Amino acid sequence: MRSYHQRDCWRNRAFNSSSVIGNCANARLQTNSRPTVKQRLAALRMLFDWMAVGQAMASNPAHAVRGPKHTPKKGKTPVLTPAEAGELLDAIEIESVVGLRDRTLIAMMIYSH
């Protein structure tokens, strides 16, 4: 169990201010992508939540800090061309029930978007 002095030291640290955490997040945007900054900020929020619940800190300073807005407009997953999709489906053996099942599932994944 932590002594009162150890817990009090955490409360008096510089990162006990949400403005400091917000400024750090803004500085990170200069070198990192928005999703990276958002993910790291979420990790900090979880850490400070854990510390606040364990009474190592009086409150969570990262609670009020919002990450940068990021809404992906285009996915990064490559899409098969129709020729590639046909090759993939033709490569599956259809003589067995398992082959028919696999071909059906893959066809559904290819042609539903």
Sequence spans of domains, the chain: 1-72, 82-111
Neighbours of 61 (CB within 10 A): 22
Quick: pLDDT tens for 19-31: 666 666 666 677 7
In the chain, which ranges are continuous DSSP H helix?
A: 4-11, 18-28, 34-53, 82-90, 97-111
Rounded to 5°, angle at Cα 76 from 110 and 47: 120
d(CA 29, CA 69): 11
Residue pLDDT, tens place only, 38-66: 888 888 888 888 888 888 878 777 777 77
Q: What is the DSSP letter of 69?
A: P
**pLDDT at 3 exceeding the cut of 50:** no
As a whole number, mean pLDDT of residues 63-86 equals 79
Sequence-separated (6 or more) residues with CB below 8 Å from residue 8? none
